[in-house]
Amino acid sequence: MSRNSLWIIVGLVGLLSLLPLVGGAYALRIGTFASMYAILAVSWNVIGGMAGYPSFATAAFFGFGAYAGGIMLAGGASLAFATVAAGLMTFIAAFLFGVVLLRLKGHYFAIGSLAVAEVLRELTNAATELTGGGMGLNIPMSLSLKSVEGEAQFIFYVMWSLLIVTLMVVIGIEKSKLGFGLRCICQNESAADMIGVNSTLYKSLAFGFSGIFVAMAGVIYAGWVHYIEPPDVYDILYSVKPIVMALLGGLGSTLGAVMGAFLFLGIEEFVWRNLLNLHTGVLGLLIVVLLLFLPKGLVSFGSSWLGKRLIRQNGGSRD
Amino acid sequence: MTELLKLNNLSRRFGGLQALENVSLSIGEGEVVGLIGPNGAGKTTLVNVITGVHTATGGQVLYQGKDITRYKPYETARIGLARTFQIVQPFPDLTVLDNVTAAAIFSRSGFSIRQAQEFAQEQLEFVGLFPQANLPAASLTLAMRKRLELAKTLAMRPKLLFLDEVNAGLNSAEVEQAMSLIKKIAATGTTIVLIEHLIKVVVTVCSRIVVLHNGQLISEGDPRQVVNDPKVVEAYLGKRYSQAAKDHLKNAEVSLD
Amino acid sequence: MLALQVLTNGLVLGCLYACIAAGFSLVWGVLNVINIMHGGFIVAGSYLAWLAYSSMGIDPWFTLLIAAPLFFGIGYLIQRGILNRVIAAPVLVTLTLTFGMDLILNNGMLLAFSADYRKLILSPPLGSFLLAGIVVPVDRLLAMVLALGLTFALYLILRHSRIGRAIIAVRMDRDASLLMGVDIKIIYAVAFGLGAAMAGCAGVLLALIFPISPLSAGAYLGKAFVVCVLGGLGSVPGAILGGLFLGVTESIGAVVFGPEHSVTLSFSLLIVFLILRPQGILGKKGYE
């Protein structure tokens, strides 16, 4: 990652932190979603952009985190405990599942990861005693804050802090041996094997990292909205939107994921407020236009680092 | 000469096809062994099985006395086995330098990225690719890509190096260059197994030749002897030519009397 | 005879699944594109049948004759106009693209018909009869026979028509086909059109049995996925085998675990097959 990119990220995140000073409840809500979307997109990029495995498992991680954390919160656990616990559980589960799932490639992996989300949703639905099943889960969270505004601010800062943590870890991965190895795997997995990369280990770690912060975001989301149900938190759109955000900003780039997330949120909010009936259709249109006419995303407007070619397995790019 | 690699009745089956059948071979340290045979003989499969890309369905691979039959590719890479691919396999969007740095850093533990980069630069100088260090690998010509592949294997500090058809697609000048590089590598003491089609190359560079045909080892020994061995001639050219080769040898014996 | 009833239900369901999946499998196998719109096309076909019957009294088996060319044309145009531009792109792009197009289709249907479930009710109703102790609803039997017929028709087209054979050639070896002078763009468009036509017709038949709503699109798509992985990609026999296997398994599962778990069951089966035998029962692994 170049110096410029890092500074742009710091700038964007810094600007975000100023939102509570600017506006009231609406600004806080937007800001919280901005942070959450960025967490999802940046996390997905680890497995989808860096390693080149098109994962549709984000909804599985988010839903699992929301429920695991939600159940703990409803049981009286602190937000910190629930977040960390759910995150760790997801990391381990994703890692173990990844060992098996990541033997698949391309479409098969995409479907497999999608199927995991579907199965999880159905299992959650069925485990009525634990999760409330189709009737949903109520999550009363007692914070010492009395006001609604106070709670909104609190949630915003928590989500924002999680974004900072996510960025630090992911950027750290990018610069590390793991990141280097993932880029090699992405471009030529058999060549990577032959030079000594333990692909299975690296891919599984990437899958784990792509899930841990998403799950944590799910916990915070659950504590924020106080009521969750399976079709809500396991919604396939939670798998698709981060992909669109990452593609919007530029595949393989953390900065691209952040920019894509913010831009996507902006478009989504505009459409919600003005074209409610058409909002899924407009999202679809956005996707089509994006993929047909802007395949390299926003980042390509910036650096001209030697034509990235999309017609290969998402060659790892360094912005 | 200490034995580096030993194959005991190595076999590999793909469904109905017996790609390798009871191949037994011993390779000593410092040797430059040529591996020849007609197309489809199983030469690349042999390298794949030794390095762990495919698992043997029978037999053993012993390396420095240790049984590495079940090792995966990344494990063989880390104990000193390196190979090039017949169709070169670079990391296309990484720079030439990064390609070699990757090989240096993952094949051994204890290298920092900085140290690996320095070591990689040395390998690039050795193969003559230093000027191209910051270009993306995809922009290189074929001959350069082959040298890049070589540099990557060298960055792995291999004890045993498999070169799979390094000369395929090269013109004669490029072949000369490649051969002098290989001789340089051999001079450093690295054990090399050379899969080659060009008999001229094999005869000049190798101390010993091994011949594979239909997955079986049919001949081995001194280059000039093996090349005239009727079994080898038959494998490449068929019975008629092998008969001619037998007659040729008999006449040679007669004239010596 | 519970066992026979369960088996019959399973076979009927299985034939419908085979019809749903055959077109999807063709597109995936030949173009290497997973068409997320497939579920949407099916629902659209159902709406077509419902509209034709409720406003013009046209019976569903005649609507088939309208649906096939209509959906073929739509599919052909979509492929030529949009998908062809990204045909060489990685999985991620094509998958997300068809997902985006499906969102548009879905939104359109929601606006046109709302999410309320509609039912195509034949009058007079076809009733059911008793055969060897098994209850056989006539509408389902009809749907099953027609579904099988459609699937078999696709098989015949692929095997015995010139363009069908070209499609199979492309599926086996794209580059060799190019060398033989096959116009890939047309082949892709025809294959996609056939896939869309199968989906639309499947939708017409499904309207006889299931309630119609845009909300069902995802479920149909899910079945198509599972059948393809179970049976093997890109082949009609694979779709039939996979469909029957899934139908019977779900039918038995409904009795053993309860019908509310059918989605879990089918997706779990999918995951198991992906891990153990991704090429499906019939094998011949399709593209990745």
Query: Based on the number of CB atoms within 10 Å of its own CB, is A312 exposed (0-12), middle (13-18) or buried (19 or more)?
Result: middle
Whether residue A281 lies within 8 A of chain C, CB to CB, comes out as yes
Nearest to A106 among C91, C105, C229 (CB): C91
Those chains having 3 or more beta-carbon pairs within 8 angstroms of chain C are A
Contacts of C57-61 spanning 24+ positions with Cβ under 8 A? C59/C122, C60/C120, C60/C204, C60/C205, C60/C207, C60/C208, C61/C142, C61/C146
Q: What is the largest CA-CA distance in chain A?
A: 60
Across the strands, what pairs with B219?
A: B211
Report residue C168: phi and psi, to 5°.
-65, -40
- Asked if A110 and C91 come within 8 Å (Cβ–Cβ), the reply is yes
Q: How far apart are CA C264 and CA C275, in angstroms?
A: 17
- Asked if B53 and A184 come within 8 Å (Cβ–Cβ), the reply is no
Which DSSP string corresponds to C121-163?
Answer: --SS---EEEETTEEEEHHHHHHHHHHHHHHHHHHHHHHHSHH
Report residue B37: phi and psi, to 5°.
155, 160
Distance from CA of A272 to the nearest CA of C (A): 14
Residue A313 binned pLDDT confidence (cut-offs 50, 70, 90) = very low
DSSP A298: T
Across the strands, what pairs with B81?
A: B160
Candidates B78, B85, B91, B100: best to mutate against A (most CBs of A within 10 A) is B91
Angle between the A106-126 and C262-276 helix axes, to the nearest 10 degrees?
150
Give pLDDT, residue A142.
64
Buried/exposed code over B65-80 (b: 16+ C-beta within 10 A; e: otherwise) = eeebbebbbbbbbbbb
Candidates A107, A190, A244: best to mutate against C (most CBs of C within 10 A) is A107
Q: How far apart are CA B104 and CA B118, in angstroms?
A: 10
Which chain A residues touch B89 with a CB distance below 8 Å?
A: 188, 190-191, 194
Q: How far apart are CA C269 and CA C257, in angstroms?
A: 14
Are the CB atoms for B69 and B148 separated by under 8 Å? no
Share of chain A above pLDDT 70, in %: 91
Distance from CA of A208 to the nearest CA of B (A): 21
SS3 for C34? coil
68-87 of C, contacting A, C-beta below 8 A: 82, 85-86
pLDDT above 60: residue A262: yes
Are the CB atoms for C278 and C285 separated by under 8 Å? yes
Those chains having 3 or more beta-carbon pairs within 8 angstroms of chain A are B, C
Q: How large is the average pLDDT for residues A142-155?
A: 74
Q: How far apart are CA B123 and CA B137, in angstroms?
A: 15
Range scoring the smallest mean pLDDT among A292-301, B58-67, B198-207, C101-110: A292-301
- Cα torsion A64, A67, A69, A70 to 10°: value is 160
pTM for this model (two decimals): 0.88
Residue (of B186, B194, B180) closest to B154 by Cα position: B186
Residue given tokens 């009733």 in the structure block: C127
Residue A306 binned pLDDT confidence (cut-offs 50, 70, 90) = very low
Pair of tokens at residue A212: 């841990």
CA distances from A134 to A60, A225, B14, B15, C48 (A): 17, 17, 50, 49, 32
Kindly give, in sequence order, each residue whose CB lies less than 8 Å from that of residue C260, ignoring residues fewer than 6 positions away. A126
Q: What is the pLDDT of residues C237-288, one digit of tens each?
A: 889 999 999 999 999 988 888 888 888 888 888 888 888 887 777 765 433 3
Give pLDDT, residue A32.
94
pLDDT above 90: residue A83: yes
Q: For residues C170 and C40, which has the higher predicted lDDT (pLDDT)?
A: C40
- Asked if A187 and B91 come within 8 Å (Cβ–Cβ), the reply is yes
pLDDT above 90: residue A200: yes
Q: How far apart are CA A239 and CA A91, in angstroms?
A: 17
Which chain A residues touch C91 with a CB distance below 8 Å?
A: 54, 106-107, 110
Pair of tokens at residue C157: 């087209």
Q: How far apart are CA C184 and CA B22, in angstroms?
A: 45
Q: How far apart are CA C25 and CA C164, in angstroms?
A: 15
Q: Across chain A, what does the average pLDDT equal? A: 86
Kindly give, in sequence order, each residue whose CB lies less than 8 Å from that of residue A24, ignoring residues fewer than 6 positions away. A149
Whether residue A102 lies within 8 A of chain C, CB to CB, comes out as no
- Identify residue A124 by its one-letter amino acid code: T
- Asked if A107 and C104 come within 8 Å (Cβ–Cβ), the reply is no
Are the CB atoms for A158 and A219 separated by under 8 Å? no
Angle between the A3-17 and A25-45 helix axes, to the nearest 10 degrees?
150
Q: Using DSSP bridges, classify how beta strands C134-137 and C128-131 pair: parallel, antiparallel or unpaired.
A: antiparallel
Q: How large is the average pLDDT for residues C18-35?
A: 91
Contacts of A275-279 spanning 24+ positions with Cβ under 8 A? A277/C107, A277/C111, A278/C107, A278/C111, A279/C107
Q: How far apart are CA A170 and CA A172, in angstroms?
A: 5
- Asked if A196 and B103 come within 8 Å (Cβ–Cβ), the reply is yes
Q: How far apart are CA B203 and CA B225, in angstroms?
A: 10
DSSP B109: S
Q: What is the pLDDT of residues A110-129, one digit of tens each?
A: 989 999 998 999 899 888 88
Q: Is the peptide bond before C124 cis (omega within 30 degrees of 0)?
A: yes
Give pLDDT, residue B79.
93
Pair of tokens at residue B47: 């390298």
Give residue limits of the domains in chain C: 2-276
Distance from CA of B85 to the nearest CA of A (A): 9
Q: Across chain C, what does the average pLDDT equal? A: 87
Q: Does domain C2-276 have CATH number 1.10.3470?
A: yes
Q: Which residues of A touch B (CB under 8 A)?
A: 177, 180-181, 183-184, 187-188, 190-199, 306, 308-309, 312, 315-317
Q: What is the pLDDT of residues C73-93, one digit of tens each?
A: 999 999 998 988 887 788 888
Q: How far apart are CA C42 and CA C147, in angstroms?
A: 13
What is the end-to-end Cα distance of chain B in Å, rounded?
36
Q: Across chain B, what does the average pLDDT equal? A: 86
Q: How large is the average pLDDT for residues B4-28?
A: 89
Are the CB atoms for B192 and B186 separated by under 8 Å? yes
Share of chain A above pLDDT 90, in %: 54
Q: What is the pLDDT of residues B168-182, one digit of tens each?
A: 888 888 888 888 888
Give pLDDT, residue C35.
93
Q: What is the pLDDT of residues C157-196, one digit of tens each?
A: 888 888 888 888 888 887 888 888 888 888 999 999 999 9
Nearest to C92 among A54, A100, A277 (CB): A54
